[in-house]
Structure 1
Amino acid sequence: MHSHHITGNFDYLLQVEVADLPAYEDFHANRLADLPGVAAVTSYVTMKTLSADTT
């Protein structure tokens, strides 16, 4: 997992890698959404990686 404090409409960006969508649903419902102070979660799912950062 990578975490970033960002500007704009959102406060934080978490980049997580899970085995499949049921695993993400478990992470979202049972870990992330239950954290104190978390009012909303917006998710984006990568469909395809176009390029990889090699640095």
Structure 2
Amino acid sequence: MSQVKVTLVKSVASRPADQRATVVALGLHKTNSSVIKEATPQIKGMLHKVEHLVKVEEI
């Protein structure tokens, strides 16, 4: 599987609870924090849900 680097670029303040929970489930906590994840269908779905808050780079 390929990997993706996910960076939180916008704050989750004043966002719906499900979007905040998705960001936390991805392992992101503060703005500009990054994590590397496997590009599974589950992760891709989570990224699609919060695509306006994160930056995704293929590794």
* Larger RCO (alpha carbons 8 Å, 6+ apart): 2
> In proportion to residue count, which structure has more helix?
2
> Looking at CA atoms only, which structure, 1 or 2, has the larger radius of gyration?
1
> In proportion to residue count, which structure has more strand?
2
